[in-house]
Every structure is written in C-alpha cells, then in structure tokens.
C-alpha cells in the first residue's frame, strides 16, 4: 500500500509508523531514524527527498 510504505532505496521499504525521526543530511539528502532501530545508516537520496516529504504529508 503506497500510502503507508515508501521505497527508501533498492534494499529498504519503510512503513510510515516506523519513522521515529528525520534529519537533514548532506547534499539535500534526509537521514532516517527508525523504530526499531536499523543497524545501518538509512538515507533518502536527494532525488527522492521531495517525493518522500510529500508522502509524509499524505500527498504521495
């Protein structure tokens, strides 16, 4: 269901409720902190950041 899941990258699909925090990162990327925590650093690319923000706001 694209309203509650977002493909962050080729390896990770994230559920809306799993996102604990979002921080700006280098070069327009976003760093995600999930609950439960992901062992690897998880970033949203600069190309997907705008789409990700719209998805969070319920527009995507």
pLDDT in tens, 23-36: 999 999 999 999 99
pLDDT, tens digit (0-9, with 9 covering 90-100), for 35-46 = 998 888 899 999
Residue written as token pair 């269901």: 1
CB 31 within 8 A of CB 18: no
Report the 10 Å Cβ neighbour count for 44: 24
Q: Give this prediction's pTM.
A: 0.87
């Amino acid at each position: 269901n694209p309203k509650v899941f977002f493909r962050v990258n080729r390896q990770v699909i994230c559920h809306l409720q799993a996102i604990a925090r979002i921080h700006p990162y280098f070069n327009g990327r976003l760093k995600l902190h999930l609950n439960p925590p992901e062992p690897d650093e998880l970033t949203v690319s600069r190309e997907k950041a705008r789409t990700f923000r719209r998805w969070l706001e319920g527009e995507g």
